[in-house]
Amino acid sequence: MPLIAVVVGRGYGLGAQAMVGGSFLEPLLTLAWPTGELGPMGIEGAVNLGMKNELAAIADPAEREKRFTEMVAGLREHFRALNVATYFEIDDVIDPAETRARIARTLAAAPSPAPRQGKKVPWVDTW
């Protein structure tokens, strides 16, 4: 079966990769809506891990929270689908109203699978 991915919200880490067959380059077509966010991990967790020492160096809790919020906002902009598309990780960012037509055109153009040879496997090995 042809694989087509549509990212409509947040897609982080190995869970997102598993949903698209192991890589965002694996599906015939990988689309995202403008609301999509893609990254190696959740934004808040990435800031907490990556900027731990910088945040710990800020003594004032209010100032630390303000800096954390600024860092999250900056990283959120980096994880937006449109930005991810500029690195060719996904094929296109589309208007949600175009989704059905784009999927239909891709399926119509997809190559036919080869006929099954041999015995049909009665189960799917997930590993």
CATH number where 87 lies: 3.90.226.10
pLDDT at 21 over 70: yes
Residue 114 in any domain: the answer is: no
Question: Tokens standing for 74?
Answer: 């900056």
Burial pattern 47-78, b for ≥16 Cβ within 10 A else e, equals beeebeeebeeeeeeeeeeebbeebbeebeee
* Structural domain total, the chain: 1
Average pLDDT over residues 93-98: 96
Residue 58 in any domain: the answer is: yes
Q: Of the ranges 16-25, 58-67, 115-124, which is most confident?
A: 58-67
pTM over the 0.85 mark: no
> Which pLDDT value is given to residue 111?
84
> Which pLDDT value is given to residue 126?
60
CA–CA distances in Å: residue 106 to residues 70, 81, 94, 102, 115 = 40, 20, 14, 6, 20
Residue 81 in any domain: the answer is: yes
Residue 41 in any domain: the answer is: yes
Residue 115 in any domain: the answer is: no
Residue 116 in any domain: the answer is: no
Supply the range of the domain harboring residue 36. 4-109
The model's pLDDT over 36-83, given as tens digits with 9 standing for 90+, comes to 999 888 888 889 898 999 998 989 989 999 999 999 998 888 899 988
Question: Tokens standing for 125?
Answer: 């090995």
